[in-house]
Chains A and B, each alone.
Chain A
């Protein structure tokens, strides 16, 4: 892993815009108080955000598929230390292509405290497809509405407050390449991480004939067997569809781990 980090890095790096209170910890965060994962469609600027916050030099570039393995780094903000994970781009959490599985597995089993979904403001429809799915498996989500400069140039205007209301999680407009919006993004991450901001993620309606009933039944069985998992409904959905990783996790009982409370204020996890 991480060979792309060592082999050819380019694009965004050190910032001229200083973010007050942000301390870039580079590769060695040491101990940390929280894990933050960057997820999103390919080419939305995840690695750019990652480089901004950690001071590292992940490969960035305008083509889908640059980040193939996940990269890790660290930053500290307002006295809390975070481990930041740059995930490969993924169009969806439903499919099982190998690079997308890395992202899906981490969001689910890596138990990040906060998932930042980096979205492309110029193609919101496609990006929301993923954001909505992420909201089904974790509550602690911040949506980074990136590339707003491009959106502006294309004449696209996004009602940020309304979007945030629809999704039930904070939405922060950013221009990651120029460092715009990073403070607000960090504040949102911090707020969600310590519980100051409460998320009420939108639940999908999924109007497929017969699905709601089947999901209700299976969800109650899942919670009965493995405790009150926050993503029980999503697990049930994946079981109905036939997801190798999830059926395996149910069989081995690994799925119960998802329910264990994330120790939000724990000192050091390593």
Chain B
């Protein structure tokens, strides 16, 4: 049976070889041409066009603005800047509300309940002070900006703006031997780096695909937007009068996001001159027509799909992390807590980076999910500076941004810490999901390790540099 089959197969393949020899060598071209001729004929017969549609004129005008020589890039920056501004300013109030609800009232309520039920101190500590508090922080810090940012981003996506961004930036990526669609995959990375890495499959050339994968982490993902926005409004916005604070903060975040793109560009340049040497390959990108998005549905679904999904992930990671943080802050070794020792050990390197030990510990705890960096920082600061011990009601009675500033100031933070944290949050290892995704997409330990460690290079250099210059100027 098998032998017979393969004989038959052999005969078929031989015949194909023989017959193919007499056909035109550009067979594929001819066939595609023939099929197109038929579809063109059918379409010509079955389609009627009424000339001069308003929609067409409108689309042309939009393209003239959104990809125009003088307008294309300014409008792009303006759009992203406005999205950030709306998010930062808009998130303030609900954030304060949630914080009051979850941190102030909810936490007290739970504490009292635990006390009333006679829950042992350590169990109450792990669950209420550890798991609950961390999770509450995740929700109050992350939910409002996401609930504003994602719907706006999705509307831009449905509208058809993303491919125009790739179109506008292609030239820049081409100059460093990368693919224009890298702008698309980086835009995806603005949502989620893991999704961005998967999206790199749209890049045909293996070399350029690797470049795009390895550098995707420089696109600020949604796990890091809230960190950026919060730190920017506390430390950058705080330097300005209240009316300008929002603009300054949005400008700072835009600058960091722009720095991310610049670093991705630089990293691509270095990669395509060294380990991934080669020429820029081809670029063909369909620019779909602008389609007016269905705004209400987009809002609804992007809140359900993206926001809740990301929040869920953050909460899942925050719960165990909260327990771990509480334990490290309460398990005593040699008369001091474990967290104290860890923070003390990392304070030195932290100082050089313009950061501190707490932040570095938080980044280690938050390897599974970047979203919980800020909550971890807050938790550790609160626990280590003994702010929880000050008695109920003491710490959560001030307005949102001020409260953070107070907590952080107690931990010894300055504007330098804020700026360096923003840089470091942009330039550090990808989260575990992204690392796993990179491995799955490349099947190579080498590229996974490179992609994981690469961001530290500019991160450490920039932070050390800023810290040195800052301190020199302050002195």
Tell whether, in the assembled complex, residue B184 and residue A9 are in contact, meaning their CB atoms are under 8 Å apart.
no
- Alpha-carbon distance A163/B162, docked complex (angstroms): 33
Measured between beta carbons, the chain B residues less than 8 angstroms from A253 are 2, 5-6, 9
Of the candidates B20, B191, B300, B301, the one whose C-beta lies within 8 Å of that of A240 is B20
CB proximity to A under 8 Å, residues B1-29: 2, 5-6, 8-9, 11-13, 15-16, 19-20, 22-24, 27-28
Tell whether, in the assembled complex, residue A68 and residue B199 are in contact, meaning their CB atoms are under 8 Å apart.
yes
Measured between beta carbons, the chain A residues less than 8 angstroms from B30 are 208, 211
CB proximity to A under 8 Å, residues B356-375: none
B283-297 vs A, CB cutoff 8 Å, 1 = contact: the mask equals 001101111011001
CB distance from B131 to the nearest CB of A (A): 24
Tell whether, in the assembled complex, residue B43 and residue A221 are in contact, meaning their CB atoms are under 8 Å apart.
no
Our count of residue pairs bridging A and B at CB distance below 8 angstroms stands at 241
- Alpha-carbon distance A178/B296, docked complex (angstroms): 12
Measured between beta carbons, the chain A residues less than 8 angstroms from B301 are 10-14, 57
Tell whether, in the assembled complex, residue A154 and residue B12 are in contact, meaning their CB atoms are under 8 Å apart.
no
Residue B445 lies at the interface, judged by CB distance under 8 Å to chain A: no
Residue B163 lies at the interface, judged by CB distance under 8 Å to chain A: yes
Interface size of B by Cβ–Cβ distance < 8 Å?
Answer: 80
Measured between beta carbons, the chain A residues less than 8 angstroms from B440 are 3
Given contacts A3-B194, A253-B5, contact A13 B300 (CB under 8 A): yes
Tell whether, in the assembled complex, residue B309 and residue A9 are in contact, meaning their CB atoms are under 8 Å apart.
yes
Of all chain A residues, the one with the shortest Cβ separation from B40 is: A125
CB distance from A47 to the nearest CB of B (A): 12
CB distance from B156 to the nearest CB of A (A): 9
CB distance from A71 to the nearest CB of B (A): 12
Residue B111 lies at the interface, judged by CB distance under 8 Å to chain A: no
- Alpha-carbon distance A186/B103, docked complex (angstroms): 50
- Alpha-carbon distance A225/B49, docked complex (angstroms): 48
Tell whether, in the assembled complex, residue B8 and residue A225 are in contact, meaning their CB atoms are under 8 Å apart.
yes
CB distance from A200 to the nearest CB of B (A): 15
Measured between beta carbons, the chain B residues less than 8 angstroms from A61 are 154, 157-158, 162
Measured between beta carbons, the chain B residues less than 8 angstroms from A90 are none
Tell whether, in the assembled complex, residue A94 and residue B28 are in contact, meaning their CB atoms are under 8 Å apart.
yes
Of the candidates B42, B53, B160, B191, the one whose C-beta lies within 8 Å of that of A155 is B53
Tell whether, in the assembled complex, residue B157 and residue A221 are in contact, meaning their CB atoms are under 8 Å apart.
no
Which of A20-28, A72-80, A127-135, A188-196 is the contact stretch?
Answer: A127-135
A-B contact pairs, 6 of them (CB 8 A): A62-B288, A62-B291, A68-B199, A156-B48, A159-B47, A241-B20
Q: Taking beta carbons and an 8 Å cutoff, which residues of B are in contact with A?
A: 2, 5-6, 8-9, 11-13, 15-16, 19-20, 22-24, 27-28, 30-32, 34-40, 42-43, 45-56, 150, 154, 157-160, 162-163, 181, 184, 188, 191-192, 194-195, 198-199, 201-202, 204, 285-286, 288-291, 293-294, 297-298, 300-302, 304-306, 309, 437, 440
Additional pairs, 15, CB under 8 Å, beyond known A8-B195, A210-B23, A256-B5 = A11-B301, A12-B301, A13-B297, A62-B290, A64-B285, A69-B201, A129-B35, A155-B51, A156-B49, A178-B294, A208-B30, A214-B19, A214-B23, A217-B19, A225-B11
